[in-house]
Amino acid sequence: MSLVSMPFVGGAADTALHAVAITVLLGTIVAIGFGFWKIHELPVHKAHSKKHQQIGLISALTWIGFIWHWVWVIAVIIAFVDGEKALCRIRDIWKENDMQQANTEAEATVEEQHNA
């Protein structure tokens, strides 16, 4: 065998190896596409399982997310975060700060009355 000759070229083995390579290449592309699709549809499946009120919005954002990926991130946030609980928590934090400020002002008023 010389350095110039190529094994498997021009025979049945060459054709078989090309068929195997094309099959592996197409299988890999299909598997990557399927995995990408499953990950991309994750917000929609989560919204359906939670019976989310904004399923239409999440579906639209998921489709738009194929073009603009940051929109898909918004769909994930909407699907996974319970908006009602989040707003209640923000409200409680806001009111807690107001209550602490009111208590501090009330204590200052009481101290002023004692000092007077």
Nearest to 44, CA basis, from 31, 67, 61, 30:
61
Amino acid in the structure at residue 2: S
59-71 pLDDT, tens per residue?
Answer: 999 999 889 989 9
With beta carbons less than 8 A apart as the criterion, state whether 75 and 52 touch: no
Question: Dihedral of the CA atoms 44, 49, 51, 55 (nearest 10)?
Answer: 0
pLDDT in tens, 56-109: 999 999 999 889 989 999 999 989 888 788 888 888 888 877 777 767 776 767
Q: Length of the chain, please?
A: 116
Neighbours of 60 (CB within 10 A): 13
Phi, psi angles (nearest 5°) of residue 94: -60, -45
Contacts of residue 14, Cβ cutoff 8 Å, sequence gap at least 6: 8
